[in-house]
Each structure stands twice: as structure tokens, then as C-alpha cells.
Structure 1
């Protein structure tokens, strides 16, 4: 590479002389090698983040769905066209039924998520920062994790009745488990050298938690938060089909009885949009809170 650069920069008539000279090993060659190495390292990264890149996949599915309906390769009775679903949603919204169902679903999910978030964080802190708390809490949570949460529905109906309370309780359980597991794992994974550093600096308990524990556990917490948000929507679609008089799940259950495929697809799309939007909000919050961290996602 050095010979080529020398030939290009040499004046006419000196090409033979340059070619006859042995390759040099001075600073220019070292700088060139360093630059080449840096370029190769940079190619290992995924590259610069594309704006709105996460919308590409859903947009592609929407295009395939539309083309399949237009060409007739997809039976509308099996899966209605996107514009049919949009018209159905506009009709239900103008009649006031869809807005009521959406509001009730959001309220149930928000209640269960708030309770699950609080319980998951408190239990993870107690188990991650105390050996006694770990002995009492972690084993119990692991047993709860092994039991299918939706299998608890009959028992919770007997305990709490068939109203709204048991629905919120089930959502809270679905939410708190991933938040606890990820936050507890992050707390347990903090390097013990940071603990020794805090002891050398004579940090108080609160200073140790604020300056070392919280920054070190935030990445794991946000992973659990994303899983918890998604879990709240997954459990809601099942719970709203049990003795409910409103909500998106109730709307879909009634549509099943009358063979309204477009209404069922509309409910699924709304659940998907809510899940995608809530996950995106958590991701944006994560990037802002963890702006000090350099990762492949930045």
C-alpha cells in the first residue's frame, strides 16, 4: 500500500526509482496501519441508527396484507382487507362503543401495571440488597414464576370475586415477575469491587444505593419494564373475555359469537398498537436515562 501511494505522489520519471527503493517502516506506514485497523473495527458495529426503522417491519406486513387482498389470494372471510378493518373501526368509534372499550382496557392495564411495577421493584430491592430478604423472597417468587399465571384465574375468582379486582390482580402478577427477575439479577450482578470502593470512600447506605446500586441496576430494570409492559397487554386480552361487560377483549368475544372477523382483527390491531407504543415509550425513556452508556443501540 505504501508503494502505491509513493508511485502516485512521485513526480514523472521517478517511478522506477521509487519502485527500486525498499519499503519504509517509518511513522507514515504506522499511521496507515492504525487507520486501517480503526476502519476495520468500526465495520463490526451495526452502523448508524436509522430514524423510524422499527416501523419498517409493520409497514411491510401491511403492504403484503393489502396486496394479498387485492389479488384475491387471501379470502376476506378469513382475514378482511385493511381498509375494511379501518372502516369498521371508524363506525364503532363514531357510535361510541369503541372509545368506551379502549378507555376501560387502558384503565385496567394501567392499574395492574402500576401495582405490579411497585411490587416488583420493592421485592427486588429487598432481595437484592439483603441476605435475609433474598432468603425469604427469592424462593417464593421463583415458585410463583413456575406456576402459570393464567392458571390462577379460577382461584382468584373464588378469592376476589368475578369483578374487576381479580383482573387487576392477575395483570399485576404478570407484570411484577419479569420486573423482579431482571432487577434482582442486575442487583446481584453488580461488581463487588464497587462495593469495596464505597466502603473505602465511607459512603452511607443511601449514598451507596444512589451512586452505585441504582446506576448499575438500571439497564436490567428497563429490560424487565419492557417485558412487564408487554405482559400487561397479553394478560388483558384473556381477562377481558371473562365476565366482562366492556373492554377490547369483551368486544372481540362478542364479535366471535356473531362471526365478525373484521371486529376481531380490529381488536388485535389495537392491542398490537398499544403494545408497540408502550414499548417505544419505554425505549425512549431508557435512552434518555442511560444516555451515559455507550452501546450498539446508540
Structure 2
């Protein structure tokens, strides 16, 4: 109807581009961002390669990328690279699982109960300040030099950021949304599932990512404890035998595996956070 007929039509909203029809465009944008993320490391590697080949820098202590690739190829052909990667991945996975379980449990207890928080939080905050290397001799005395001590050390590194993230997420839940849930007469289980869990989950995922990063850092200290396999062993072996290429190659593999596992964690948790209405998701949806 027109305004002359006495009825004013509501203005139609402009069409949103990129929500359904722009799926391929969003995927293309994702690939562009991934390639953009490679620009810095690849550019730095190419610049160092050129500098070494032109004689502007010595490649003795920091070998050229081509020499690092040759070292990785040699390790792969001999089967050593696969052996060390699998050993390190197994330790990180086991330590991460144990650390997440412990950190989530204590964080949930401290967040849900003021009495529990007053009881355990000061102790955990003090233990959190202990350097990772300080745990090594104690765990060797308690658990020996085999896998138990290594996995335990990694679990300790993972547990503290997960604990802090879980505790902080629970304490930061807006009291008003809890009151809204109670006004709708939700049971405790419904309140936890429909309100508390969605409010806590984004911060908890960030805590898991922080814990995973520390797990990769702690595995190096863990594999210094008499390991005969693992990427940390490659570092020690390269240092003792004077092989800087092997040391840098192991560091590069650590970086790649850390990034890949973090990306897998983000991808696995992304379906759980689809309900979030954030500016970043709005931009991604619009392509």
C-alpha cells in the first residue's frame, strides 16, 4: 500500500551480502588470510637465504633455510623425524588431557564455592609461580626418568592456565543473566546448561589454547629429563654434537606442530561458539 491509501509501508532492509551466496567468497577470504599469515615467516626465511648466499651473513650458527630443509629431509628419510614427532605428540596429548582435567576440576570448584576458593586458590597461585625447570629434579626423584615424570610435568604446565581461565570465566558471569534464568524458574541443571555453560565456554576455550601452548613449552623441559626420543632430545643431541641445523630444525618443527594443534583446537571448538554474536563473526559472515 502507498502513503496515499493511508498506509505507510515499512522500509525494506537492504539485502545482506555474503551470508548464503557468499560462502565461496568467505572461504577464499579465509585462504587469503592464511597465506597472509605465512608472509612474515616465509619472507624472513627468503631474506636470510639471500643474505647467506650473497655472503652478507654467515650461516654457521643460523643455517640457511635450504640447509634446514635438507636436514629435515635427511631426518625424514632415516625415520628419526617421525619417531621423535610421534613421541613428543604422545607426551603432549597425555599431559594436556591430565592438565585440562585437573585445571577444569579445581577451577570449577573454586569458581562455584567461595569456601573452596579461599582454601585452594592461594596454594595454587603460589605453585603457579614455580618455574617449570624447578619441578624437574623433584619429579625425577618421585617418578623416575621415564614417561610418568615427563607427562606429569607437562600436565602441571597445562593445568594452571586452564584453572585460571575456568575460575575467571565463572566469576565473570553476569549476575543479571542468572537472575533472568531464575525468573523463568529454570532448574539448577537447566541454569547451568542454558546460561552458565554458554557464558563460560568462550573464556574456557581461550584457557585451553593457553594451556596447550604451555604444554608445548613444558615438553621441552620434560624431554631434557633423560629422554632418548622426542624433539627435545633432538635439541639436546644437536647441542652436544654441535649441529645448529638440527637444533633450528627441531625448533621449526615445534613451531609448526604447535600452530597445527592450536588450529585443530580452534576448529573443534568453533561449532560450540556459533551462537556468539561478535563483531569478528559479523565481518566474517558478510565476507
Which interval holds the TM-score relative to the shorter structure? 0.7 to 0.9
Deviation at 1:194? 1.6
- Answer yes or no: is the 8 Å Cα contact 1:93–1:99 preserved in 2: yes
Moved more, 264-273 or 236-245: 236-245
- Answer yes or no: is the 8 Å Cα contact 1:150–1:170 preserved in 2: no
1:88-167 aligned within 5 A: 88-167=71-150
Is the radius of gyration larger for structure 1 or structure 2? 1
Deviation at 1:267? 0.4
Structure ranking higher on relative contact order (CA contacts 8 Å, 6+ apart): 2
For residue 33 of structure 2, give the secondary structure of its aligned residue in structure 1: coil
Give the counterpart of 2:172 among 173, 177, 189. 189
For residue 48 of structure 2, give the secondary structure of its aligned residue in structure 1: helix
Give the counterpart of 1:277 among 246, 249, 260. 260
Task: For residues 54-103 of structure 1, give each alpha carbon's deviation from its aligned partner in whole angstroms, at most 9, with x where no partner exists.
Answer: 22322222222222222222211111111111111111111112211111
Unpaired runs of at least 5, structure 1: 1-47
- Answer yes or no: is the 8 Å Cα contact 2:145–2:226 preserved in 1: yes
Q: Would the alpha carbon gap of residues 197 and 294 (structure 1) be closer, same or farther in structure 2, given more than 3 Å must change?
A: closer
Cα distance in 1 between the residues matched to 2:114 and 2:278: 32
1:51 paired with 2:51, answer no
User: How many aligned residue pairs are there?
Assistant: 253
Counterpart in the other structure of 1:249: 232
1:145-294 aligned within 5 A: 145-294=128-277
Task: For residues 138-165 of structure 1, give each alpha carbon's deviation from its aligned partner in whole angstroms, at most 9, with x where no partner exists.
Answer: 2222121122232121112111112211
Cα distance in 2 between the residues matched to 1:233 and 1:123: 22
1:73 paired with 2:56, answer yes
RMSD of aligned Cα (Å): 2.0
For residue 74 of structure 1, give the secondary structure of its aligned residue in structure 2: coil
